[in-house]
Amino acid sequence: MATFIYPSVKRVTSEFRSNTRPDHHGTDYAQPGYHEIKAVADGKVTRSYESGSYGQCIMIEHHINGETWESVYAHMRDGSRKVHVGDHVKQGQVIGVMGNTGHSFGQHLHFELHKGNWNINKTDAVNPEKYLGRNLYAANLKVDGLWGSITTRGLQEALGTVEDGIISDQYKNDVTKMIVSGITFGQGGSLVIRALQRKIGAAVDGYLGPETVRKLQRYLGTPVDGVISDPSLVVKELQRRLNKGIL
> Which of 25-34, 44-53, 68-77, 221-230 has the weakest average pLDDT?
221-230
Torsion of CA 92, 48, 44, 41, to 10 degrees: 30
Task: Calculate the average pLDDT of the chain.
Answer: 93
% helix, strand, coil for the chain, step of 5: 20, 25, 55
Predicted pLDDT at 73:
98
Cis before 128? omega within 30? no
* Residues contacting residue 80 through CB under 8 Å, at least 6 positions apart: 37, 56, 96, 97, 99
Q: Find the mean pLDDT for residues 208-219.
A: 96
Strand partners, 45: 60
pLDDT at 41 over 80: yes
Q: Which domains does the chain have, with CATH numbers?
A: 12-130 (2.70.70.10), 149-244 (no CATH)
What pTM value is reported for the model? Answer: 0.67
DSSP-derived secondary structure letter, 63: E
Q: pLDDT digit string (tens) for 157-201?
A: 888 888 888 888 888 888 888 787 667 777 788 999 999 999 999
For the chain, how many helices (H) and strands (E)? 4, 10
Predicted pLDDT at 223:
96
pLDDT at 42 over 80: yes
Predicted pLDDT at 181:
67
Dihedral-angle region of residue 88 (phi above 0 means left; psi in -120 to 50 means alpha; beta otherwise): beta
CB-CB contact of 148 with 237 (8 Å): no
Closest CA to 97 of 88, 108, 112: 108
Closest CA to 7 of 31, 17, 24: 31
Indicate the pLDDT class of residue 37, thresholds 50, 70 and 90.
very high
Q: Find the mean pLDDT for residues 202-231.
A: 94
| End-to-end CA gap in the chain | 8
DSSP-derived secondary structure letter, 211: H
Q: How far is the C-alpha of 111 from the C-alpha of 145, rounded, in Å?
A: 39
Predicted pLDDT at 200:
97
Q: How far is the C-alpha of 208 from the C-alpha of 245, rounded, in Å?
A: 22
Q: How far is the C-alpha of 50 from the C-alpha of 96, rounded, in Å?
A: 13
